[in-house]
Homo-oligomer: A and B are copies of this chain.
Amino acid sequence: MNVIDESGILAIATRLQRLSDQIRKDGFQVYKAHGIDFEPKWFPVIYTLFHKPVLSVVEIANEIGYTHPSTISLLKELEKEKLIRSKKDKIDERKRLLQLTEKGQILVGQMQPVWDVLKMATAEMIDTENNLMRAIEEVEGQLKEKSFFDRAAAQMKRV
């Protein structure tokens, strides 16, 4: 075991990221193996527009939990791929409304079985004593109650 893994908790951010990268890379390969040209980073937008067919930029950003600039750059790529298209909102001229193109809808259809495979593979992978998905949800809940910074500040006073 290396020093970092031993440091445990202190390098938790690093280890979360490492795990994320690993899963994402393999995810890309899974799509590829199914002959589908799709990048995992596109998933949140596509999945969201599949379930809520017409949304503005900021609405999508909120749904996927990204900032709006990050969202915009994803939208640009997806428009370039012709998987989504946009139109001005006639009521509110500031808004740009996004939706899947027909090509996008067909792709979603092709991806559904892949999503099932990914779901099952992930479920199997994280089905250990401490379930990773539930742990994430629980910690997200904890952070909502009290930020990590506030927790550290509270500990500080105790010392």
Residues on A facing B (Cβ under 8 Å) = 2-5, 7-24, 26-27, 29-30, 33-34, 40-41, 43-44, 47-48, 51-52, 62-65, 113, 115-126, 128-143, 147-149, 151-156, 159
B139–A128 CB distance below 8 A: yes
Hey, which chain B residues are within 8 Å of A116, CB to CB? 159
How long is the Cα–Cα vector from A143 to B111 in the complex, in angstroms? Answer: 24
- Can you identify 13 A-B contacts, CB atoms within 8 angstroms? A2-B63, A2-B64, A3-B52, A3-B64, A4-B64, A13-B27, A30-B148, A33-B149, A117-B156, A121-B152, A128-B141, A130-B131, A132-B139
Query: Pick the contact of A13 from B15, B23, B34 — CB < 8 Å?
Result: B23
**With contacts A113-B159, A148-B121 known, is A16 near B17, CB below 8 A?**
yes
Query: Pick the contact of A43 from B5, B10, B52, B118 — CB < 8 Å?
Result: B10
Hey, which chain B residues are within 8 Å of A26, CB to CB? 147-149, 152
